[in-house]
């Protein structure tokens, strides 16, 4: 069930009404049932790998806590089982395809089995969440969950099940295990966040997607047209994914839960590391805590550090999809991160004294981010190669002119993001605002809410698309 469908709206209103009406002791049971219904709504068989992950990790984690020996083996069992499921559903076809290609190169023709497996939505998200829980229990950061009910809800919690944010057991599981209350202020914030999330998805993402799709459908776009399409995609993917996260956070908040923020104005990043601190925060912190630091992090020798960065970003790329462009995208960030680190070591503190240097760094990083999005979006590697060597001087004048028009459309649709940034900064700066301003802020927020809702009604795209991160 997709967040932007009328079915979800009806589902969520009913869930909300029943959830806050029934006694607290039944709330978790009810949320599990609702989550299963949500997840199995279109393909009930999606629940099978999901049940497997839940049951394996529930029992393994409890066993780890009781065991005095062989704890590491249990973690390995859990990780292998989870990654095995992920490998079967997400990477098996990719593996076969590439094996066949390599064998073909060696003139060995082996007929490969053809398996058409639909990728269960959100499998990469809940698999990582579940692995994180087992590792946390192993490390002693959290206690193993005694109730299968609570653990099942931790994995299945529908607002964040399909596209994250990836939750930590210490955070979400703890909230599941205690009674929840809804305060009017939290409900008000949640309602606003819900509107903003829908606006980002339905108005900004779906409308700029039309431009990105058109440009990426071209056989041989010129330099200005291609990069305007990439810019449109940059806005699309950010508003699509962060819109989803906002809706997820708002729905969770209305159910009395607080889930982590996944974005922090990523296009204001001034370096690759900063970008990953702002983009898909739950994934990057997961990778940092469960992969990068265990590998030694940055406190090791130069070569090992480079290798670690390479491994981490390779896996980040592969996590996004079983295709070479995603792998390349990961490798691109690995190279970029390494280059930035080398530059930082060669020229420490050189730039920071120059006025406006941060703005310049943000602009440069934004350009690098867009190169990354081109790699991410272009599935045809041969085409990608052609795109990357396009010359700006070879483009006809009409294409530059037309690209300006497309960029102007993207700019107009993206204007609310600018207002949101300003709002966010103003709110942070005035965190301690005197109480007398609060009613006016609330009034202004209501006015903005009316505009957002009206915007959704009249400006939403005629061609709504699926959330991009649903495919991962």
The verdict on whether 320 is a catalytic residue reads: yes
Q: Which residue has the tokens 């393994």?
A: 60
Q: Are 137 and 144 in contact (CB under 8 A)?
A: yes
Nearest to 201 by CA among 412, 459, 409: 459
Report the nearest approach of other proteins to the CB of residue 185 (Å).
Answer: 6
CA dihedral of residues 75, 312, 289, 68 (deg, nearest 10): 20
Of 10 and 33, CB closest to other proteins: 10
Position 16 contacts other proteins (CB under 8 A): no
Q: Which stretch binds other proteins (CB under 8 A): 63-71, 90-98, 219-227, 244-252?
A: 219-227
Beta strand spans in 220-345 (E): none
The footprint of other proteins on residues 384-413 (CB under 8 A) is 398-399, 401-402, 404-405, 408-409, 411-413
Return the number of the residue (26 or 454) whose C-beta is nearest other proteins: 454
Q: Which residue number, 203 or 309, has a Cβ lying nearer to other proteins?
A: 203
Measure the CA–CA gap between 50 and 57, rounded to whole angstroms. Answer: 11
| Nearest-5° Cα angle at 148, 146 to 152 | 130
Comparison of 178 and 434: residue with beta carbon closer to other proteins: 178
Among 52, 187, 268, 344, binds other proteins (CB under 8 A): 187
**Rounded Cα gap, residues 118 and 42, in angstroms:** 12
130/54 Cα distance (integer angstroms): 7
d(CA 440, CA 447): 10
By CB under 8 A, tell whether 217 contacts other proteins: yes
- Verify binding: residue 59, other proteins, rule CB under 8 A: no
Q: By CB under 8 A, is residue 181 in contact with other proteins?
A: yes
**Do 135 and 116 touch, CB atoms closer than 8 A?**
no
Q: Which of 461, 464, 465, 470 binds other proteins (CB under 8 A)?
A: 461
Q: How far is the CB of 399 from other proteins (least distance, A)?
A: 7
Catalytic residue among 320, 353, 379, 420: 320
220 binding other proteins? (CB under 8 A): yes
Q: 327, 314 in Cβ contact below 8 A? A: yes
Radius of gyration over every alpha carbon of the chain, rounded to an integer in angstroms: 23
441 is a contact residue toward other proteins (CB under 8 A): no
Applying CB under 8 A, among 174, 302, 454, 466 the residue interacting with other proteins is 454
Sole binder of other proteins in the list 11, 91, 188, 290 (CB under 8 A): 188
CA dihedral 226, 230, 233, 238 (to 10 degrees): -170
Contact 126, 50 (CB under 8 A): yes
Q: Closer to other proteins at the Cβ: 10 or 14?
A: 10
Q: Tell me the catalytic residues.
A: 320
Enumerate binding residues for other proteins (CB under 8 A): 6, 9-10, 181, 183-185, 187-188, 191, 195, 207, 214, 217-220, 225, 398-399, 401-402, 404-405, 408-409, 411-413, 442, 446, 449-450, 453-454, 457-462
């Amino acid at each position: 069930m997709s967040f932007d469908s009328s079915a979800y709206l009806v589902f969520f209103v009913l869930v909300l009404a029943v959830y806050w009406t029934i006694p607290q002791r039944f709330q978790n049971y009810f949320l599990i049932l609702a989550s299963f219904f949500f997840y199995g709504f279109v393909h009930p068989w999606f629940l099978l790998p999901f049940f497997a992950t839940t049951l394996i990790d529930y029992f393994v984690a409890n066993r780890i806590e009781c065991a005095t020996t062989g704890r590491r083996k249990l973690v390995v069992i859990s990780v292998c089982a989870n990654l095995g499921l992920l490998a079967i559903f997400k990477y098996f076809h990719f593996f076969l395809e590439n094996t066949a290609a390599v064998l073909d190169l060696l003139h060995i023709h082996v007929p490969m089995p053809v398996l058409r497996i639909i990728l269960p939505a959100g499998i990469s998200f809940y698999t990582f969440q579940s692995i994180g829980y087992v590792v946390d229990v192993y490390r002693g950061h959290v206690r193993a969950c005694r109730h299968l009910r609570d653990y099942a809800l931790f994995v299945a919690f529908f607002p964040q099940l399909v596209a994250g944010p990836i939750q930590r057991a210490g955070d979400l599981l703890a909230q599941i295990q205690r009674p929840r209350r809804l305060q009017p202020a939290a409900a008000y914030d949640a309602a606003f966040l819900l509107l903003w999330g829908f606006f980002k998805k339905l108005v900004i993402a779906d409308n700029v997607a039309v431009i990105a799709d058109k440009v990426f459908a071209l056989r041989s776009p010129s330099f200005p047209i291609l990069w305007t399409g990439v810019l449109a995609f940059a806005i699309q993917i950010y508003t699509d994914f962060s819109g989803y996260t906002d809706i997820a956070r708002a729905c969770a908040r209305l159910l009395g839960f607080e889930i982590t923020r996944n974005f922090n104005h990523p296009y204001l990043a001034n370096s690759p590391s900063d970008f990953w601190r702002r983009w898909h925060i739950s994934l990057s912190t997961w990778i940092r805590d469960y992969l990068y630091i265990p590998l030694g992090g940055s406190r090791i020798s130069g070569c090992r550090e480079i290798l670690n960065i390479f491994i981490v970003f390779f896996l980040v790329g592969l996590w996004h999809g079983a295709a070479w462009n995603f792998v390349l995208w990961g490798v691109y960030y690995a190279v970029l991160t390494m280059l930035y680190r080398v530059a930082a070591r060669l020229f420490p503190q050189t730039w920071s004294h120059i006025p406006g240097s941060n703005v310049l760094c943000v602009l440069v990083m934004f350009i690098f981010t867009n190169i990354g999005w081109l790699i991410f979006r272009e599935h045809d590697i041969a085409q990608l190669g052609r795109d990357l060597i396009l010359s700006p001087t070879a483009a006809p004048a009409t294409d530059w002119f037309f690209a300006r028009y497309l960029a102007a459309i993207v700019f107009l649709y993206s204007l609310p993001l600018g207002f949101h940034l300003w709002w966010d900064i103003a709110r942070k700066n005035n965190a301690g605002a005197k109480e007398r301003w609060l009613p006016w802020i609330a009034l202004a927020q209501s006015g903005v809410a009316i505009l957002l809702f009206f915007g959704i009604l009249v400006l939403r795209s005629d061609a709504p698309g699926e959330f991009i991160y649903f495919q991962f």
